[in-house]
């Protein structure tokens, strides 16, 4: 019997992309203000990369995403490893990540996830930057029942809802702020929700 599918974004949900940017900035001699790193703070790229020029900020983002540092991102929520291991007993877990079109970047992203999470992912889909995830979410709905989709960006959450997938925004909060309807603050809260809705035996 095939397992239902649980789909998740990567940056801002599983991996700490902003933390990686802070390390990248430090290698350029630039300090990143601590408040910029809070997952709940929506910081423009210009501020995150410490430049007044939007095009330069985008170029720096590409430089970072193409660098080996992208393959060394830390966990966002430390509980995610154990939670996903348990959830993988009940679900086929797939990741959809907009990380760039470069083969070496895709390899680093997949290896980074494998190093941290082992073999919990049935598939890791790597997409170019700033593209819709609709096509791949729709493909997974054709393969089986997608019971949940998690993303840190509201626009991608709405894409899941348009396809009829139960979709939730994720904003990790290390100080233990509670989750609320449609918004999860930790992977432990996600696991609890799935248990309460009887999706996990």
Give the Cα separation of 10 and 16 in Å (integer): 9
pLDDT band at 199 (very low <50, low <70, confident <90, very high): low
Record the pTM.
Answer: 0.94
Per-residue pLDDT reduced to its tens digit, 57-82: 999 999 999 999 999 999 999 999 99
Residue ranges of domains in the chain, CATH in brackets: 5-15+74-196 (3.40.50.1000), 17-72 (no CATH)
Sheet holding 92-98, edge to edge: 121-127, 92-98, 5-8, 146-151, 167-170, 183-184
Per-residue pLDDT reduced to its tens digit, 83-101: 999 999 999 999 999 999 9
């Amino acid at each position: 019997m095939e397992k239902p599918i649980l789909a998740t974004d990567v940056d801002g949900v599983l991996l700490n992309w902003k933390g990686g940017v802070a390390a990248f900035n430090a290698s350029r001699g630039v300090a990143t203000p601590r408040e910029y790193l809070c997952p709940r703070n929506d910081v423009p790229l210009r501020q995150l990369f410490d430049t007044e020029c939007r095009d330069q900020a985008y170029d720096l983002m590409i430089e970072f995403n193409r660098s080996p540092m992208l393959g060394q991102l830390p966990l966002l929520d430390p509980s995610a490893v154990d939670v996903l291991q348990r959830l993988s007993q009940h679900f086929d877990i797939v990741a959809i990540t907009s990380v760039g079109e470069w083969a070496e970047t895709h390899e680093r992203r997949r290896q980074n996830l494998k190093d941290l999470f082992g073999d919990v992912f049935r598939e890791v889909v790597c997409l170019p930057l700033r593209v819709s995830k609709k096509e791949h979410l729709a493909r997974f709905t054709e393969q089986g029942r997608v019971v949940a989709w998690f993303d840190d960006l509201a626009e991608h959450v709405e894409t899941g809802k348009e396809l009829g997938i139960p979709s939730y925004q994720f904003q990790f909060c290390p100080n233990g702020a509670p989750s609320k309807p449609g918004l999860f603050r930790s992977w432990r809260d996600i696991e609890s929700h799935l248990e309460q809705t009887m999706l996990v035996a």
